[in-house]
Structure 1
Amino acid sequence: MNFLSRSILLLALACAPALASCQEVAAPAPAPAIPADRADAARPPGMAVASAHALATEAGLQVMREGGNAFDAAVAVSSTLSVVEPISSGLGGGGFFLLHQADSGREVFVDARETAPAAATMARYLDADGGFDSDRATNGPWAAGIPGLPAALVHVAEKYGRLPLAATLAPAIRIAREGFPVYARMARGYERRREVMERYPGSRALYAPQGRPLREGDIFRQPDLARTLERLAAQGHQGFYRGETGRLLVEGVNAEGGQWTAEELAAYRVVERDPLRFRYRDWEVVTAPPPSSGGVALAQMLQILAGWDLESLDQVQRTHLTVEAMRRAFRDRTFYLGDPDFTDIPIRTLTSRDYAAGLRATIHPHRATPSDLLSGEPTPLEDEETTHFSIIDAAGNRVAATQTVNLLYGSGLVAPGTGVLLNNEMDDFALKPGTPNAFGVMGFEANAPEPGKRMLSSMTPTFMVSDDRVAVLGTPGGTRIITMVLLGMLGYDAGLDAQAVAALPRFHHQWMPDRISAESGALAADTVRALREMGHEVDAPDEAEVERRAGGRASSHVWGNLQTVAWDLRDNTLEGGSDPRNPVGRAEVELRSAER
């Protein structure tokens, strides 16, 4: 660690009190009660679902029409996304479910992150010269962690839902069997991953059934996945992690050279954790704890930014301060965060207001702070991996859920006979300490793989609660998830509606590489010039530059797929916002009928 980094850390720690005095920031607490003058709005006027695909949104609404609650709807939406968004998520991946029970005010974080197989040691990801083998880390059997999403579906349904799994999984089973039209994003993603996908017989049979890849407009049917879902519906946890599906998964991985065991697959369980809580201005924020890095980073960034009136600043100053907050949070992410069941994380210090005040004191108001480490690799664009959905039901229950298979089409490996496309989440571990992964971020011992350990994640499902408003939000986007959720939260704080929040322009900084990246048009040209004069490196290409980088093909430089719903207690209204960057997403609000 160099002098500047040590100085920043020491100054921040000097402002942090003893750990015991910071407990109120990280410790669980009851949700704020609805104020007395809002008693008439104790229940929302209906239900709202926002997801990345219209079929998933409709599945969630249909389940609630049939008597299910938000948690039943979450199972329906999640499983349907697993069918219609193989590019982003699926039963072969994992996710996080943030739940709020309206009757008790209880909130819980369901951790369904994938876990490391026992055989997946760091040595397995080194080549003959001791270098990092990125192909093994991102493609095929060694890239895959033990899936967690099926266990989450069972857990949420059985512990929090009203309806049987057979009802909540019915839409996904039907769509898997009958098929749905391939959309442009799905076809485009396959072309980018085609070489890897077509290494494996199970993947070729599913995605290139007539010897050619599926094209936009083709009907994509997944009969094996329908049968896998049926076994899950009938037998619960055993229906995926043991029996026929479990056998096929282990055989499929090991036939390609992996080393899964039936015992470690059967042993997978979700973990219920207390959400991370902190305050930002008039909001209580309820968000993801480790092994997500998102909640800790949000707590740091927002509490740093709480020292300024952002709305009174021009775009240059506001962007500069926000970037400096991002920079500091991502530096701490690199060194301190991992699976809390394996790693001692100083979470109370990292999320305390005093620590944030110390970090704020290191920010020069008119100059960039150099990240001052070895240069990293350029962060790859990621807008199509991972998916998020947000739900509020008519009783006031709510769900924010983010799920993923990591990169486009995960590992590329479909276990024959299952229809299950496996994740490539092993790349989210620090497989070689100090070496950037596919998202350009580094890690060290806190995030090193161990048998059964959960890899660090950026998924950040989040609730915001004030006296006047409740918001549910999240997005895909790799490491950019955290900064996109941050910008969405700042949008809600500025008074934007849900759709305006979903459409906000985006920029990002992750400490290494030391640069601001931005969507095309997110920052005005004079803002870019001013930031560069302050010492920032800025990557904000215009449309001509984006096309040049794409080799003359039409392209885009946009990120994420934010899905959000909000309940305004002042007039008891619901609203939904679905990211306009994704044409197949949908947010819908359905009001209670007089009969219900």
Structure 2
Amino acid sequence: MLRTVAALTLSVVLVAPAAAQAGAAETPPRVPEQVGRGGAVSSVDPDASQIGIDVLRRGGNAVDAAVATAAALGVTDPFSAGIGGGGFFVYYDARTGRVSTLDGRETAPRAATDQLFVENGTPLPFAEAVTSGLSVGVPGTPKTWQQALRKWGSLNLREAMAPAEALARRGFVVDQTFNTQIANNAARFADFTSTRDLYLPGGQPPAVGSTFRNPQLADTYRELARTELASLYGGQVGRELVKAVQQPPVVPGSTRNVRKGAMEISDLARYQVERREPTHTRYRGLDVYGMPAPSSGGTTVGEALNILESTDLANVSDVQYLHRFLEASRLSFADRLRWVGDPAFSRVPTDGLLSQKFADTRACLIKSDTVLSAPQPAADPDNPKACEATAGPSLLREDAERTTHLTVADRWGNVVAYTLTIESEGGSGIVVPGRGFLLNNELTDFEFVAPTPGVPHPNLPGPGKRPRSSMAPTIVLDHGKVKLAVGSPGGATIITTVLQILTARLDRDMSLLDAVAAPRASQRNSATNTTPAEAEFIADQEVVPGLQAIGHKFSLNAEIGAATGVERAKDGRWRAVAEPKRRGGGAARVVWVG
């Protein structure tokens, strides 16, 4: 299970398909690892990573490159992220040694109530809620870019978005992942005129090897940059977005029941990105910083690390390491569901969830020879009791697994870990007519009804409220300097993916590339003791029988996460690492190799 995989993964280098015609776009290679100087960029897409590197090469800083890369991902990875969505931006300033965050999470419209996804007293089917105007939250991604550049960047919005605008105009080579994502969503994409026309030309997804262009998105990027986002947050683009939410462009004759949303232009006009204090956990003498509520990434990763702090993971067997990783995940997820929501609407006990005292009362529940019962109840961090959960039932709530993450470092030592999303693969399925971008379905991250009837819950819908997220962009410092930064897509599996990578790298002495590539399992306090895991994890005959003997059971999950990260070597060089296989593999870049 923990064998070295670098020898295999370093050979995964994909180039533009031979079918690309003369004069068509060309794809930079996909490379899972590069080491060198001058800065680093890692993302899921080679065009996007190359755009980020070009910004660094021209003298831009990590924030400039992160925004440029994110804008490019809105072109090449539009089914995971884009200007119709939101995200969380974590930034390390090398000059001050300070970690800061920007909360660009989508918000519910002012008309939303706790009955947003309830009809006739019954919660809507999840799939029907996803593909609807009801699910669309007010986008925060464009304002996140703007605020990050104003606070820490050296470029303006127009300069940072220009390379992505050009990419959208000239086009890029369609790979298998892009084609498959459209095919996966073809039925619902075909039910919206604007989405059908953009992504199903001639009724089929664009062919692998063909060039895909999105001049509508290029024009939208130019308009947003020209108006400093005024056209979106109160202007013409915003009015068109609101119309798409209120009157989804359903194909005449479609039998799909697409419910209308109630977003108003005033919801866009009042949207604000929030600057929040990062979560902070000490682990093995290192400082681990993450994203606070409404994301649950920072508190849940941090609590799990604190639970594991009392075990010498470096010197236990592979079976015991993975057993304790799974059990710590289970317990921290129990507390996540009970306590984390939008801090503007309910008190989130962040300090308590991240206290070592609280973690120790949870860690003592873990036994080496048996698994915990399922699901585990939450505990009360304000009144911790050793080995006793007192806050009531708590269990996994499934959510979508499509998002994207990018990680950037520059020559001065500044670092960005940025996770952004439109929620499900393809978001709501609604492209804003004439504008070339998909709208999110982020509001389905709310609980549709309270998990325990009659008990207040922090993650029910509400006017202007931000739904809880699992995004976990993470930066680790060693004596005030960046050691590594990492993050992943994957819905709630983001948390377990980041936790597994951190423990594999920091405790098990795996290389960052091997930690990113390693087979994954994701225990999220399910109602049974069955843990979703990848096929390669389940097939491991050295470790899995030992886990099964303790009581673990596993079910197949085709793919968990697609992480990216950067790491600072002792000699000052940057190591950029991207997913070598999942989602077709990512693209790691440094400015100067060697």
**Which category describes the TM-score, using the shorter chain as reference length?**
0.7 to 0.9
Judging changes above 3 Å, is the alpha-carbon distance between structure 1 residues 182 and 400 closer, same or farther for their aligned structure 2 residues?
same
Structure-2 change in CA distance of 1:444 and 1:420 (3 Å):
farther
In the aligned structure 1, how far is the partner of 2:399 from the partner of 2:86? 22
Preserved contact between residue 253 and residue 260 of structure 1 (Cα < 8 Å): yes
Which of residues 473, 482, 495 in structure 1 aligns to 2:509? 495
Q: Is the 8 A contact 1:394 1:592 kept in 2?
A: no
The aligned runs of 1:429-508 (5 Å cut-off) are: 429-434=446-451, 445-467=457-479, 470-493=483-506, 494-508=508-522
Q: Which of 280, 290, 294 does residue 291 from structure 1 map onto?
A: 294
Is residue 2:421 matched to residue 1:404?
yes
Change (3 A) 1:415 1:540: closer
Q: Which residue pairs with 1:531 in the alignment? A: 547
User: TM-score normalized by structure 2?
Assistant: 0.84
**What is the deviation of 1:421?**
0.3
**Alignment correspondent of 1:518:** 533
Distance 1:244 1:299 in 2: 42
The one-character-per-residue Cα deviations of 1:381-400 (angstroms, maximum 9, x if unpaired) are: 84xx1000111100011100
C-alpha change, 1:505 and 1:249, in structure 2 (3 Å) is: same
CA contact (8 A) 1:434 1:444 kept: no
Aligned letter for 2:548? R
What TM-score comes out, normalization by structure 1 length? 0.84
Q: Is the 8 A contact 2:407 2:564 kept in 1?
A: yes
Q: How does 1:85-234 map to 2 (within 5 A)?
A: 85-128=77-120, 130-234=122-226
Task: Pick one of 316, 329, 338 that aligns with 1:335.
Answer: 338
CA separation in 2, counterparts of 1:281 and 1:376? Answer: 29
The unaligned stretches of length 5 or more in structure 1 are 1-43, 436-442, 542-556
- Matched AA of 1:580: P
Root mean square deviation of aligned Cα: 2.2
Tell me the CA shift for residue 375 of structure 1.
11
1:302 CA drift (Å): 0.7
**Stretches (4+) displaced over 3 A:** 372-382
Distance 1:462 1:276 in 2: 10
Are the counterparts in 1 of residues 306 and 360 from structure 2 also a CA contact under 8 Å? Answer: yes
* Other-structure match for 1:547: none
1:358 to 356, 361, 365: 361
Shift of 1:101: 1.3
8 Å Cα contact 1:291/1:339 also seen in 2 = yes
Pick aligned residue for 2:523 from 492, 495, 509: 509
- Give the drift of 1:127: 3.5
1-side partners of 2:164 and 2:230: how far apart?
19
SS in structure 1 opposite 2:535?
Answer: coil
Q: Is the 8 A contact 1:428 1:456 kept in 2?
A: yes
Could you say what secondary structure the match of 1:421 adopts?
Answer: coil
Alpha-carbon distance in 2 for matches of 1:127, 1:485:
37
Q: Say which is worse superposed, 263-272 or 364-373, in terms of deviation.
A: 364-373
CA contact (8 A) 2:578 2:585 kept: no
Tell me, yes or no, if the aligned pair for 1:381 and 1:559 is still in contact at 8 Å.
no
Cα deviations by residue, 1:185-221 (Å, 9 ceiling, x for unpaired): 1211222211211211111111123333323223221
Q: Higher helix proportion, which one?
A: 1
In 2, the alpha carbon distance for the partners of 1:564 and 1:268 equals 30
Q: Aligned in 2, Cα 1:521/1:592: closer, same or farther, shift over 3 Å?
A: closer
Cα 1:456/1:377, change in 2 over 3 Å: closer
Change (3 A) 1:589 1:482: same
Match of 1:348 in 2: 351
Shift of 1:446: 0.2
Map 1:364-383 onto structure 2 (within 5 A).
364-372=367-375, 382=401
CA distance in 2, matches of 1:202, 1:58: 30
* Structure 1 residue 87: Cα displacement: 1.7
Change (3 A) 1:280 1:393: same
Are 1:390 and 2:407 counterparts? yes
Q: Is the 8 A contact 1:335 1:444 kept in 2?
A: no
CA contact (8 A) 1:165 1:233 kept: yes
Letter paired with 2:341: G
- 1:428 equivalent to 2:431? Answer no
Looking at structure 1, the residues matched to 356 and 432 of structure 2 have their Cα atoms a distance apart, in angstroms, of 47
Contact preservation (8 Å) 2:49, 2:588: yes
Q: Describe the SS at the equivalent of 2:467.
A: coil
The 1:159/1:223 distance shift into structure 2, 3 A limit, reads same
User: Could you tell me whether the CA contact under 8 Å between 1:500 and 1:577 is conserved in 2?
Assistant: no
Q: Distance in 2 between matches of 1:453 and 1:446?
A: 10
The one-letter code matched in structure 2 to 1:408 is E
Structure 2 residue identity aligned to 1:531: L
